[in-house]
Structure 1
Amino acid sequence: MTVLRDICLSIEPGEFFCFVGGSGCGKSTLLKMIAGLERPTSGKITVGGRTITGPGLDRGMVFQEHRLLPWLTVEQNIDFGLRESVVKDRAAIVAEHIRLVGLVGFEKAYPRQLSGGMAQRVGLARALVNRPEVLLLDEPLGALDALTRQQMQHEILRIWRAENTTMILVTHDIDEAIFLADRIAVIGSRPGEVRDLFTVDLPRPRDRGDQKFDQLRHDLWNSIFRPAGTSASSVDDQASADKDQAEVSEYVGK
């Protein structure tokens, strides 16, 4: 089975980039290939001009489940991210990242003592502790409740600004993609390919009730769910025709 086909993208340093699309379209597979956890059967992926052949400290990854080691404390889990690094003051680096994700006072806590949002903060710190060039986020907020999810979106933006790290996010949440990303790529159904590429030209912090936010939400929805082989304009034309027909039917009914 061909999972992905003809993916050709360039992501700028420091950019917040997002992939959206239906389940099974290959978004997470693409992210794993960038991480070096899987290898493409053709083509290549590069970071800073270097071809990816496997995992590396220049890339960090945060999964939907926090994947913390339950027998280690918060600071020990973050320190675990440094296991392949040669650094002089690991304790200071760990403490710096505990402050970065807002967990001062919870250094000695175990994962079972943390909320879902706090556990994901630890996962973020562990992925960032090596100062990666690229941070990969595979639905990291999908298991959180709505309020915690929105709070964590603000936290991720704060960390992105503070660290100046290129972030690549996979999500099913259209609003989340618009709120966070500089650009959004819509991945079509199998084999996955870039169906549309949107630039989010909205100032931060972004207002989810803004008219431009709502228009982009509409455009992304149409892009994700339009039938294969049809253009965005044809979907809009059909939606307009359906609306006109509904108005005519309502008038005739009166």
Structure 2
Amino acid sequence: MLTIKKLSIQIENNIILDDLSFSIEDNSITSIIGYSGIGKSTLVKAIAGIHHFSAGAIFYNNELLNNTKVNIGYAFQDYGLYPWYSVKKNIVLPLQIKKIAIDQAFYRSILIQLGIDHLIDRYPSALSGGEKQRVALARAIILKPQILLLDEPFSALDTINRTKARDLFLKIWDEYRPLCIFVTHDIDEALLISHKILILRDNSYIQIDNAVRGKLKYDPEYVNMLHSLQEMIAGSN
């Protein structure tokens, strides 16, 4: 279980997050939603150990989170690919840093499922936005992480490919079910994939169970939940 306790993040004189506390269970997906600039990406970076926080603590299984001991996979919103490395080198880099042998069968499976097996010798400059996002997702998953952090991983894709990528992500996630935090602006996406949803608001937050996961989008319960979330976000802006 991942536990955030009284977390506060301040950048210069701006308070981005203040006194945030919540927990996320293992084997689950929690989506973080809220309007632009509310601190979604900042929160994920703090969990990843990339962003310092001014107060509070982050625990994993009742111990302070230490990313040298806990495998954390992170797909950046801007891909975060190294332009001087090939696709293959970018993907396996987390394994090399942690000195973990490549599980060749898993590696090959990820490449094929994401449709990037033919791209491994290319460099990021030769990839489309969608291809870069799939490479970034492969790199996040290759560690078989205990904690998987995805920051708007499908935002560069058109509607059809976004749906395909989302379904593929769920299939891959279901293979070993890491604790996953998924940042998105798309409320429908949050409802379709998440077990819980964290709504960041000005100086507050709401964490709710997603009772409509797996329901069809025209189901009355789904529609009511969608409208409710829209109102919660609108009320915080």
TM range, normalised to the smaller chain? 0.7 to 0.9
Secondary structure of 2:50's match? coil
Identical counterparts, % of pairs: 32
Give the TM-score taking structure 1 as reference length.
Answer: 0.79
Distance change (3 Å), C-alpha of 1:50 and 1:146? same
Report whether the alignment pairs 1:222 with 2:235. no
Please tell me whether the aligned partners of residues 91 and 142 of structure 2 are also in contact (alpha carbons under 8 angstroms): yes
| Cα deviation digits, residues 110-133 of structure 1 (max 9, x gap) | 334444333222111111222211
Q: Report deviation, 1:104.
A: 3.1
Sort the Cα spacing of 1:35 and 1:88 in 2 relative to 1 into closer, same or farther, 3 A. closer
Q: Of the candidates 93, 96, 116, which is equivalent to residue 103 of structure 1?
A: 116
For residues 172 and 68 of structure 2, the distance between their equivalents in structure 1, rounded to whole angstroms, comes to 23
**C-alpha displacement of 1:211:** 1.8
- Deviation of 1:53 (Å): 5.6
| TM-score computed with the length of structure 2 as normaliser | 0.84
Cα–Cα, structure 1 residues 143 and 99, in superposed 2: closer, same or farther, change >3 Å?
A: closer
> Which structure: greater strand fraction?
2
Select the structure of larger CA radius of gyration.
1
Partner of residue 20, structure 1:
33
Q: Give the corresponding residue for 1:210.
A: 219
Cα gap change, 1:166 to 1:112, in 2 (>3 Å)? same
Per-residue deviation, residues 16-75 of structure 1 (Å, max 9, x unmatched)? 001111111111111111111112211101122221366765211111222323343322
Long gaps (5+) in structure 1: 229-254
Q: Does the CA contact (< 8 Å) of 1:36 and 1:56 recur in 2? A: no
Q: Is the 8 A contact 1:36 1:55 kept in 2?
A: no
Distance, in Å, in 1 between the alignment partners of 2:189 and 2:101 is: 38
Conserved? CA contact 1:75–1:98, under 8 Å: no
Q: Which runs of 5+ in 2 are unaligned?
A: 1-13
Does the 8 A contact of 1:11 with 1:17 survive in 2? yes
How many corresponding residue pairs? Answer: 224
Partner of 1:248: none
Q: 1:221 to 1:55 in 2, by over 3 A?
A: farther
- Are the counterparts in 2 of residues 35 and 55 from structure 1 also a CA contact under 8 Å? no
Quick check: 2:82–2:90 contact (8 Å CA) kept in 1? yes
CA gap 1:90/1:41 in 2 versus in 1, 3 angstroms: same
Could you tell me whether the CA contact under 8 Å between 1:17 and 1:182 is conserved in 2? yes
CA distance in 2, matches of 1:201, 1:167: 18
Any idea what SS the aligned residue of 2:117 has? coil
How far is the alpha carbon of 1:91 from its aligned partner?
Answer: 5.3
Quick check: 1:52 aligned with 2:65?
yes
- Calculate the aligned-residue CA RMSD, in Å: 2.3
